[in-house]
Structure 1
Amino acid sequence: MDKEDKTKDDDLMVEREFEALINDYLKTNHRRKVEIIRKAFHLAKEAHKGARRRSGEPYIMHPIAVARIVCSEIGLGSTSICAALLHDVVEDTDYTVEDLKKIFGDKIAEIVDGLTKISSGMFGDNVSSQAENFRKLLLTMADDIRVILVKIADRLHNMRTLGSMAPAKRHKIAGETMYIYAPLAHRLGLFAIKTELEELSFKYENTEEYNEIVSKLESSLSIRKNIFEHFAEPVVPKLDELGFKYEIRARDKSVYSIWNKMKSKGVPFEEIYDIFAVRIIFDSEPGMDEKKRCWDIYSVITDIYKLRPDRIRDWVSRPKSNGYQALHLTVMGPDGEWVEIQIRSRRMDDIAEKGFAAHWKYKEGKIEEDNELDKWLKTITEILEHPNPNAIDFLDTIKLNLFSQEIFVFTPKGDLRTMAQGSTALDFAYELHTNIGDHCIGAKVNHKLVPLSHKLNSGDQVEILTSKSQSPQPEWLGFITSAKARTKLESTLKKQKKEVAKKGEAILKEIVGEAELTSSTIDKLLDFYKITKKEDFFFALGNKTIVLPANLDKLFNQKDKDGSSNIFMRYMKQAFRVGKKESGDTESLDTDDLDTIDKKKTYILEEDSFKKNFRIASCCNPIPGDKVFGFITDNNEIQVHGVNCPVGLKLKASFGDKILTLEWGRYAQYSFLSTIIIRGIDRVGMLNDITKVIITDSVNIKSLNIESNDGIFEGKVSLYVHSVVDVQKLCSQILKIEGVQSVNRLS
């Protein structure tokens, strides 16, 4: 195919995709503003002319795809669609925000500007750039929620086309998606998008496990189909009899959710019993009491099947903070299996899939796009008013809010307050007011005296006790779970620390004399006491943690064994940074000189590499055979993390430029510690049989502990192995022992 034909085919493909976008838009309930969308498309197409994506297709296909997600999957209108079409124009072409303002007006230009600010530093070299940009994202979001919605759509399309990226970039983007974007989508009620982001991240990070679960889901499909049909058989006639318009269907858990449950419970796929849920969706009709209809359907089901009382979840009367509404119940089905049922109206179903944006669909007449989605921004805005100076800590603070589930507690006067699940009495004190939190000495929960660390439950009535003489203590940080309370407490502690540090500085001036208090003197003192910041040193002086001698000469002469000061070493570590090259080969990892590392290569972890400057991360303890990646630390080491390690997930999201793609070599001499859990039915000689198998397998045991309770035993064995293959072989041998029910490696 010659160049001219290729261009024609590309133009046809682009036009076809754009017309599909217009059709999507015309099906919505928004005002018909097709002309401005066409204008945005033509400008974007011209601006990106000649540019191509890694996949080879014209670049304009990406903005169109993002616009279609914004329109069809999130439910936004023309303003957001135009912003999606133009979202890369300012960053990648010669157009400026001012140009867009003149052509499209303030609102579209502001959203594009917000998106440009977020993206411009997301892959920068600064250690905390991604977290800092996440903070910028939230600040922008406080002005217009549509910025984050378009950004989530952009990330979703990037994840759908992640296969064309280099492995190290895939690690970074998948980790960042799981750490930032999936929880954000969840918090905004975009359930379908949140699930897909998690699925795609998991698929690229754990391809083998993903394919294995998909295969098992397919092979067990007929079993689940039978269970569903048996369950629905008596329910359908009863619902038809009442004249309801509804649909009833079975919905499988996502692959990621199944894997997560397997890991958290330490059980195989075959022991996950709630793989699917039955969803009953009834049509919303004018004047209908949706809440009553939910309970009518509940009544039909519980007349037929036995209810499990502890599994009722009523999110119809009190919706979740992200807008989710449904009535959940679990019953014993006809096949002796627990079956979860989710009852919701069509409107509730749309909101569950698309978030608050779906509300617009149910407004009368043609609507203008507005800001109904920012109800939840109040808490986020409060945190933004006093941001933690460390961007990574700030990211963790925000995550406390993103992942929270709610409990409802009452003040002594009966006012209702919504708190995050796991909130303590101290969280509640700061929820009421900063001064109440700062002077809190305890609480009465349901008229009973409790400490500040007491965890609250839904329905508790809480009275906070205060004292003017009380002041916040650093250990209180351990009693806090909510982002809002942590931000307020840290702000007060910071003020206190500044006051104590001023006292410390005055003490030093008194000993040394103001004229002699130079930066050189302070550096020598920091070096001697192994403190990195002068503020921390002054605080230690003011707090009497450090008491200076009258004669400081011996401190100034102090050197490290090699004759160089710690300050010099710290400077060298900061100056020693990894270089970049262009390549895509695989080679052995030699870490004598990290300057030679090429982050686009896949490095092999050879056995003799263990004598050099890299180490296995203690948070996840991966062993040969596990999927891993490398992280270059400030100490000039390479940490090896498993791809599913929670700490590693944070590193991938926050320090993407320090990630390496690694693969294991062969290991015959070097051993790794691994732990397996054995469960089964106890009998005489069980311990002897297990140890025999382990000894026969020539594996070195570090520790073995077996406990038996009422005829059931659980054993925990820590042993040294060369690879995952050793563990799998040993597990299969132990599983053959009479009475052993399961053997799993402890992740």
Structure 2
Amino acid sequence: FRILVDDTAACYQALGVLHGAYPVVPGRFDDYISTPKPNGYSSIHTCVIGPGRNKIEIQIRTHLMHEIAERGVAAHWQYKQGEMPEREGRKFGWMRELLQILEHAGGPEEFLEHTKLEMYQDNVFCFTPRGDLINLPSGATPVDFAYAVHSNIGDTCVGAKINGRIMPLRTALENGDQVEIITSKAQTPSPTWETFVVSGKARSAIRRFIRTREVQEYTYLGRAILEKAFEEFDYTYSDRALRGVLKIFRHDNVEDLIAAVGSGMLRGREVLVAVFPGLKEEIESGTRGKVVALAHARRERDQKKAGGSAVPIKGLTPGMALHYANCCHPLPGDRIVGIVTPGKGVTIHTIDCETLESFSDMSERWLDVAWDVELAENQVGRIHVTVINEPGALSSLSTVIAKNLGNILNLKITHRSADFFEMAIDVEVENLKHLSNIIAALRATPAINSVERARG
């Protein structure tokens, strides 16, 4: 049944009369007037036990609410004859969000995926510190909340307070939570956010940033690879030299060609040979390099001393154009090498990683790389530890790591027996020397039987 009244106050008056006359069915009451749905739908839903002990579902709404429910958003403007209420922006903000998703989506399939995320999920209602109500899909996180407030807040989100407590960004929000977003101008969206956000708006914004950043990083990496390839054969690199080979590789501009090299779709030497066709025979015959100019030899010697012949992994975001191998967990201070993977960029391995044996006959995919000496970010090192099974052993282990300024990110017990526990521990450290100091301190601890750095 449906009850139509003249104004909002009359809706609640009708509800009071109805509940006073008939018993209410518990759990079947929804007030969409105080908390409208994202599409603007407003009404009171209730269920009572009527004559004959039958359950009767009843909707109570105004004539305006009925017009919107029956005929859609356009009915509102037709009903009000051009008048625009103050709360119009909030009530139909979902339309603007839909337009933002359309703008950020990479194609029709992605747009459909994001709109499905918005349409087919239950809602969670949370509040800003000022008391504004934010409507989110079920399972939403503080990152979803941040993007719902404003895209710039989502992009610069570094942390969140839920009901006054600092909580992880992947925490699922609940009805009635008060959420305060902590931002930083230096922050950018992390590729890992996409694994736990649930709203279409957040996911589309993150993917748009990742696409843009990937192109920038592939361009940086591709230019470094090309500069190294040109320098190897004593040529000076310039973007102008690539314009004549754009048609060969079917690219519209130089930036796209450079990004293709950075992503691994093209090899640096392949582009070099296209620019200087005469090099092909010399490279295949092996005559190139037998006679080396004195100036070139001296420059090569100086570069090797300074480590300048390698491509510096500077300013690249792990997970985009650059990936750290999980088999060997390279750290600043390790001798490293890059393996180029088509469409993925470069994966960094330690020079003694066993995985490199599978690439021994693919020399064209090897890339000489070097750590950025000014690299400030901490890295993750993995160690294998055997601990004596006795009270306080785990406490001793964690205390030693903490005293040496390490931070345990993950701990997994791989084998247990009556006397010993074997575990793999991921430790956040500054560089190889830092990890070596932690390993040395652990070996000096009585509760630790053995400790080794993970090597694949």
Q: TM-score of the superposition, structure 2-length normalised?
A: 0.47
| Structure ranking higher in strand proportion | 2
**Structure number with higher relative contact order (C-alpha < 8 Å, ≥ 6 residues apart):** 1
| Structure ranking higher in helix proportion | 1
